[in-house]
């Protein structure tokens, strides 16, 4: 469960996120969409506790992220668009390190099936430098899933993946959501929203333009027309410009 109330993020005089409030329940997948510079990544980074919000409250799995960040972070996982890995740690060593950070007892019992599910078990002793972009992404996912998070944030999860990798990533997100995880993802790819997201939140210049289920948002911007594509909905909602 994610509860966001009055989230504001300022960089000096520039306000990147303005008074944002929304709730995502277990099993829901919320897609954050908007033109470039809309504040999607900033919002995700605030929700994941990477950057402090200027104002507002964020509750992750019932824990206040500002008051008790350690407890809140135990329940979440953040997957950046570019997998950030440690150059000197093999796949297996990455999992051992993350297990110790999160205190995952007997992590080998969890890690092995996870590596097999993500099809990188045969790369367990390789360094990130020896892995392809897709394999690195899988390793980052394995690290994020090791502590069984109930809340997940994906920033542009399909970046750099091949068609098979895209299919697997979508399946993986849906699988976790069906298992009861709360998922928020940001993407420019509207087909990803159609296939994976149950809810959508459209941002423009840091402000919420619309949110709700895909059907609700589509109905709001369809102006009574039938068969309006999601792309058209997005363009109508955002005014067709970045500014």
Q: By the criterion CB under 8 A, which residues form the site for other proteins? A: 11, 45, 48-52, 69-71, 73-74, 76-78, 80, 84, 86-90, 93, 96-97, 99-107, 125-127, 129
Give the shortest CB-172-to-other proteins separation in angstroms.
19
Residue whose CB is less far from other proteins, 69 or 212? 69
Residue whose CB is less far from other proteins, 144 or 217? 144
| Cα angle 177-180-185, degrees, rounded to a multiple of 5 | 35
Give the shortest CB-153-to-other proteins separation in angstroms.
9
Residue whose CB is less far from other proteins, 137 or 218? 137
Give the shortest CB-41-to-other proteins separation in angstroms.
9
Residue 13: partners with Cβ closer than 8 Å, 6 or more residues away: none
Residue whose CB is less far from other proteins, 17 or 193? 17
With contact defined as beta carbons under 8 Å apart, do 114 and 149 qualify? no
Give the shortest CB-225-to-other proteins separation in angstroms.
40
């Amino acid at each position: 469960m994610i509860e966001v109330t009055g989230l504001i993020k300022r960089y000096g005089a520039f306000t990147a996120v303005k008074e944002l409030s929304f709730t995502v329940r277990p099993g829901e997948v919320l897609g954050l969409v908007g033109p470039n510079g809309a504040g999607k990544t900033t919002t995700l980074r605030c929700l994941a506790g990477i950057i402090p919000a200027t104002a507002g409250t964020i509750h992750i799995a019932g824990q206040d992220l500002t008051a008790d960040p350690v407890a809140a972070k135990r329940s979440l996982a953040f997957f950046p668009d570019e997998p950030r890995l440690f150059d000197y740690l093999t796949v297996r060593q990455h999992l051992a390190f993350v297990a110790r950070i999160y205190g995952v007892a007997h992590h080998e019992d969890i890690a092995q099936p996870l590596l097999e599910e993500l099809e990188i078990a045969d790369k367990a002793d390789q360094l990130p430098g020896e892995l392809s972009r897709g394999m690195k992404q899988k390793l980052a996912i394995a690290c994020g899933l090791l502590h069984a998070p109930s809340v997940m944030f994906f920033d542009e999860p399909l970046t750099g993946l091949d068609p098979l990798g895209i299919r697997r990533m979508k399946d993986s997100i849906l699988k976790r959501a069906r298992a009861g995880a709360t998922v928020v993802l940001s993407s420019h790819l509207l087909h990803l929203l159609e296939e994976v997201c149950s809810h959508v939140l459209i941002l423009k210049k840091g402000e919420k333009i619309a949110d709700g289920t895909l059907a609700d948002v589509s109905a709001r911007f369809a102006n009574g027309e039938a068969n309006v594509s999601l792309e058209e909905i997005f363009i109508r909602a955002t005014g067709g410009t970045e500014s």
